[in-house]
Amino acid sequence: MKLTNSSTKAVNLFLTFLLLNILLATLVTTDYFYEPQSSPYYAFTFFSLMLIISATIYKSDKNTFLNPINILFGIWCMYILIRFADNAASAQITIQMITLYLLLNVSTSLLKTKVININILLYGIAVIAALESVFCILQFFGFVESKNNFYTVTGTWNNPNVTAIFLSLTLPVNFFLLRSRFRNLIILNIVSLAAVLLMLKCRTAFIGFFVCSLIYYSLEFRLLDWTRNKKNKNSLKALIVLAILVLTPTCISLYNAKKESADGRKFIWNLSLEMALEKPLTGYGYGNFEKEYNLFQADYIRKGAASDEEIRNAGPVIMPHNEIIHNLAEGGIIGLFLACSFFTSLFLRFKNEKTNIENSIPVQTVRSSNKKIMGVAYAGAGSFIAMSMVNSTLQIIPLIFMLIIYSSIISSMHQPVQVISQNITLKRNRIASLFSMFSVICLCVYLLYTITSTAYSDRLNQKAATLRNAKRSKEALLVMPGLEKKIGTQSLYWENYGRIYMDLGEYSKAIYYFEKAKKASSLPELYSCSGVCYEKMNQYPQAIKEYEMLTALDPSRFVYRMALLQVYLKNRNTEEALNLATQIIKMKPKIPSEKVNSYKNICHNLLKIASIQKQKSPF
């Protein structure tokens, strides 16, 4: 599409701001949908597809650039698409990966051809990070309500870890902008960002902060060249010793700060690896980790293989907090290999590429700065990978989007792949160009239709939940039947359906829908609801099965064990009830409370009564 010079500048500016708008949208969670985390997903997909369509039309007469980064990400994406066709990947993850792949290609092309204004992009990221920091500070001082009742500071997400990791990922941009004319403002931004990380109390973000700083300033001051100089041999040894002396107590402090959480993660990692070895080649399917892991953990506990400490740290798990293990469990060795190949490609120096960053392909830089952007991208990507070893990142929308931005920057600076001395910079003829453009636009339009219709159904599901909570379950029931086509694969839909029937007193129907929800999820609430329904119907043996599974899924929850105790007594399983009462008395709560003390008192009284009755019994 040929435009005048002023029109070209306007379109370039529009595409740059649209890219920033995507980032902004990923950081906003609302209660508009059934789950707050759905808002960033829908917004990200919608605006990304709009950017892809706009850029595809705008750049229809330009070249398409291919290199190993884009190719390897595309192969990984194709593998997930194949797994989706085999019912081994969720629609949400598949759509997300396709969108990310298209976005990576488009962003690479726009950066390489200087359509995206890198100045505005970097300043935009810094401004968004500053706004997020201000929001957190306002939460800390009580001016703004937290998004989660369990935390004082969460940021715009309901999970403080997501906010902290995102802010950590923006550090390279802020470091780079220190050479701009807004140096004082950037220093203030970095200081406030560091303070907010302390407020959010996320150890992963601290790791990201350290790795990011190390990579960025190692490249900035050419630390690798310094270490190779034999004259600096003694200084290097002293530096290593100093680093060990500083890092060792720091790591110990970080571990002890949340010891139970760290021990819990070690337990999850060990058990996840054990589980992954049962399906090593292709894994359990993308999006199935939560269901499969919780069932595996419950079986491990019911077999009596878990120690008291493991039981105390065990609980329902959504993600393993380690992307290596996550990809191995869901995608098998094949999926893990493809993911690692993509990450490795970000740091490879390809043939014909000069090793000096100063000699890389020129890009626009921030005014009054002669540094290249490559160090920013390497620091951001390296920090992302480091944090992926101790937390979940790939399926968290704002985090994976930041990785795509950094990957696009790196990709745009690499020479295209060459095969037999011929560049794969595809100089397409008119027909091929139109076909390619038409294919991408058709795919994006289809994905837009899919995501908007899914979002609409999700919204109606939330509306039904709101009606149910307002004791208007009959009205809520009228909303549900038409939603199955779009969100019928989501456990939350069936759970909501079951809860509506549960509130209406139709327990057999409620159980039917809870069972459908269990096909996609194994979270404790489903078994708790099924147990309550069976109990209401006086079907105590079935209720016992549900509650026994419930206590295996979340063994540290006293309320679940008490529910099982009550049903044991109703079903006259006296011996099992007394054994369970003894276990409850011996259990140590994670957080002592009056409620737990009352449970223990009930168990003490039960054992006392049983002891008196046993003494009075003539047998």
Name the residue with higher pLDDT: 513 or 372.
513
Q: What is the pLDDT of residues 550-579, one digit of tens each?
A: 999 999 999 999 999 999 999 999 999 999
- Strand, coil or helix: what is 113? coil
pTM recorded for the entire structure: 0.90
Q: Is the dihedral of CA 525, 526, 528, 533 positive or negative?
A: positive
Contact 465, 35 (CB under 8 A): no
pLDDT of residue 368: 36
Q: How confident is the model at residue 367 (pLDDT cuts 50, 70, 90)?
A: very low
Q: Calculate the average pLDDT of the chain.
A: 88
Cα–Cα distance between 302 and 551 in angstroms, integer?
A: 9
Cα–Cα distance between 595 and 485 in angstroms, integer?
A: 43
Side chain identity at residue 566, one-letter code:
Q
pLDDT of residue 221: 79
Most confident stretch, 1-10, 493-502, 583-592:
493-502
- Domains in the chain, ordered, with CATH? 5-257+346-440 (no CATH), 490-616 (1.25.40.10)
Q: pLDDT above 70 covers what percent of the chain?
A: 88
- Burial of 483-515, coded b for 16+ CB within 10 Å and e otherwise, reads beebbeebbbbbbbbbbbbbbeebbebbbebbe
Q: What is the pLDDT of residues 220-253, one digit of tens each?
A: 877 776 676 767 777 767 777 777 777 777 777 7
Cα–Cα distance between 366 and 188 in angstroms, integer?
A: 18
Is residue 154's pLDDT more than 50? yes
Contact 33, 459 (CB under 8 A): yes
The DSSP call for residue 36 is: T
**Within 10 Å of residue 445's Cβ, how many Cβ atoms?**
12
Contact 90, 330 (CB under 8 A): no
Q: What's phi and psi for 76, nearest 5 deg?
A: -60, -45
Q: How confident is the model at residue 370 (pLDDT cuts 50, 70, 90)?
A: very low
* Short-list 75, 56, 71, CA closest to 11: 56
Distances (CA, A) of 370 to 89, 362, 407, 507: 45, 11, 21, 70
Q: pLDDT above 90 covers what percent of the chain?
A: 71
pLDDT of residue 617: 61
Q: Is the dihedral of CA 363, 368, 371, 374 positive or negative?
A: negative
Place of tokens 């909570």: 469
Contact 89, 285 (CB under 8 A): yes
Residue 599 token pair: 């449970």
Place of tokens 């999850």: 268
Is residue 356's pLDDT more than 60? no
Q: How confident is the model at residue 618 (pLDDT cuts 50, 70, 90)?
A: low
Q: How confident is the model at residue 359 (pLDDT cuts 50, 70, 90)?
A: very low
Residue 558 token pair: 């006293």
Most confident stretch, 65-69, 340-344, 606-610:
340-344
Q: What is the mean pLDDT of residues 367-371?
A: 40
Is residue 427's pLDDT more than 60? no
Q: What is the pLDDT of residues 82-123, one digit of tens each?
A: 999 999 999 999 999 999 999 999 999 999 888 998 889 999
Contact 165, 212 (CB under 8 A): no
Q: How confident is the model at residue 364 (pLDDT cuts 50, 70, 90)?
A: very low
158 contacts: CB under 8 Å, gap ≥ 6: 29, 36, 37, 147, 148
